Amino acid sequence: MKRDSKLAPILAIVGGAIVLVVALVVASQVGNGSKKSGSSEVQIDSIAEMLDGIPQQGIELGNSKAKLTMVEFSDPQCPFCADWARGTFPSLVQSYVRSGKLRIEYRGLDFLDKQFGTTDSEHLLRVAQAAGFQNKLWNVVELEFENQGAEGSGWATDPLVNGILGAVKGLDAGKVLADADTNKVVPMIDAAQKLAQAKVGKGLSTPTFLLMQTGSTKVEKTIVGAQPLSTFTDAIDALLKK
């Protein structure tokens, strides 16, 4: 009985601690998790804050004189691309792009529409490229990934796209929608496809990343898939030392 009376408060402490740790871990994971598909509510998150003050020019993010350039090939419907955008991209932006060491080019591909018989990828690519005319492409691309639904489900509805455009400060959403419906955006989408074929070839999958010295066309490193952050930082650090 005496042993039980001594153990009881200790067990209560350990039990309470375990419950609290589980709650904290769940809160941490939920905070970094993805949005449930099928909702039209736009998740703004902290994308504007992440990109604030970083120069954008068309498809480019970061200082045009940065030593390194990373080309991102991704499809707006691709879930691995969204995982990468949520998990790895913010750290690269903060550690390398903001400090002027790295610039990133967005080369969006319409990869999954044919597979699922949808038009979502094309729709979202057109909108993103049109936002590029106002130098807000990256805000739109990252919001598209943040609000991504299940591939092939037709999640890229007009209300969702409008909500995304409305969430970008300083963006003329009406002009974006008008430009997205014209042929003005087609050359950029075609150019991305041609570049992917030339540099990666038939085995292309998304996401794929090319690292090169800015101004050079020689690919120094190709990274395929939503690899962990360390894969990117190791490659970037090595190239920065060259």
Partner 1 sequence: MNERYLRWAVAALALIGAGIAGYLTYTRLRGFPPVCPTSGCEIVQNSPYSKLIGIPVALLGFLTYLSIFATTVVRHPLAKQVGVTIVLVALGFNAYLLYIQEHEIGRYCTWCVSNEIVSAILAPVAIAWLLVSSDRGKSGAA
Task: Quote the strand ranges of 81-237, DSSP E.
Answer: 102-108, 208-213, 221-224
User: Which of 94, 115, 153, 216 is the binder for partner 1 (CB under 8 A)?
Assistant: 94
Supply the minimum distance, in Å, between the C-beta of residue 107 and partner 1: 24
Distance (Å, whole) CA 235 – CA 211 = 8
Site for partner 1 (CB under 8 A): how many residues?
29
Query: Which listed residue (8, 11, 27, 191) binds partner 1 by CB under 8 A?
Result: 27
CB of 234 to partner 1, least distance (A): 8
What is the Cα–Cα distance from 34 to 144, expressed in whole angstroms?
12
> In the window 32-61, what residues touch partner 1 (CB under 8 A)?
32
Q: Is 9 in the site for partner 1 (CB under 8 A)?
A: yes
Cis-peptide, bond into residue 207, ω within 30° of zero: yes
- Closest approach, Cβ 93 to partner 1, in A, equals 8
Amino acid identity of residue 180, one-letter, is: A
- Among 57, 91, 119, 157, indicate the residue that binds partner 1 (CB under 8 A): 91
**Taking the complex as a whole, how short is the minimal distance between the CB of residue 5 and partner 1, in angstroms?**
9
Decide if residue 20 touches partner 1 (CB under 8 A): yes
- Does 229 contact partner 1 by CB under 8 A? yes
d(CA 178, CA 126) in angstroms, rounded, equals: 10
Residue 1 interacts with partner 1 (CB under 8 A)? Answer: no
Distances (CA, A) of 143 to 44, 149, 176, 242: 7, 12, 15, 34
**Interface pick for partner 1 out of 8, 18, 150, 186 (rule CB under 8 A):** 18
Check binding of 8 to partner 1 (CB under 8 A): no
Residues ≥6 apart with Cβ < 8 Å to 187: none
Q: Measure the CA–CA gap between 117 and 142, rounded to whole angstroms.
A: 24
Question: Quick one: DSSP state of residue 70?
Answer: E
Residues that bind partner 1 (CB under 8 A): 2, 6, 9-10, 13-14, 16-18, 20-21, 24-25, 27-28, 31-32, 86-87, 90-91, 94-95, 228-231, 233, 237
